[in-house]
Amino acid sequence: MRKIEHIGIAVANLDKSNELFCKLLGKQHFKTEIVEGESVETSFFQVGDAKIELLQATNADSPIAKYLDKKPEGVHHIAFDVEDIHAEVKRLKGEGFEILNETPKEGADNKLVVFLHPKSTNGVLVELCQEKV
């Protein structure tokens, strides 16, 4: 894993959280994007080499809606940038981590993504991201 690509934050109201993070970070978000496959609308802020990804559910089946049914708004996942997502999945599987989707799926911001179950990673939902070529 090469660096933290982004920190995902589950929010109830993207507009309000955009305003809040704009004030906090002293800059505007650089993009918003709906990812249909995950039923989320995202907003990205660049912070140095990494990003903050705000996530609002677009429907009740979204993982973000389910998360916010049980927990307050806050850090939802940490995403790591990887060079070869297939090799990394194989390595992590061999190390005993529980892979939630072995076939990478379409993420936001031109990425392929794979998730690891938080039960196997000290309670932290981990996302692997590979830039699409």
Instruction: Report how far apart the first and last C-alpha atoms of the chain are (Å, whole number).
Output: 18
Q: Contact at 8 Å (CB) between 79 and 113?
A: yes
The residues of the shown chain that bind ligand LP2KCY5N, judged by CB under 6 A, are 8, 35, 38, 40, 42, 53, 55, 63-64, 66-67, 70, 76-77, 79, 100, 107-108, 111, 113, 115, 117-118, 123, 125, 127
Q: Does 9 bind Co ion (CB under 5 A)?
A: no
**Cα–Cα distances in angstroms (integers) from residue 99 to residues 7, 52, 82, 89, 112, in the given order:** 19, 23, 15, 7, 14
User: Alpha-carbon distance 61 to 40, whole Å?
Assistant: 10
Structure tokens belonging to residue 105: 């799926």
Which range touches Co ion (CB under 5 A), out of 6-14, 27-35, 98-106, 114-122? 6-14
CB of 76 to ligand LP2KCY5N, least distance (A): 5
Query: Nearest approach, Cβ of 64 to Co ion (angstroms)?
Result: 10
Contact between 104 and Co ion (CB under 5 A)? no
Question: 28 vs 101, which CB is nearer to ligand LP2KCY5N?
Answer: 101
Question: Least distance from C-beta 18 to ligand LP2KCY5N, angstroms?
Answer: 16
Task: Provide CB contacts within 8 A for 97, sequence distance 6+.
Answer: 116, 117, 120, 121
> What distance in Å separates the CA atoms of residue 121 and residue 60, rounded to the nearest whole number?
26
Q: Rule CB under 5 A: choose which of 14, 64, 68, 79 binds Co ion.
A: 79
Name the residues that contact Co ion, by CB under 5 A.
8, 53, 79, 127
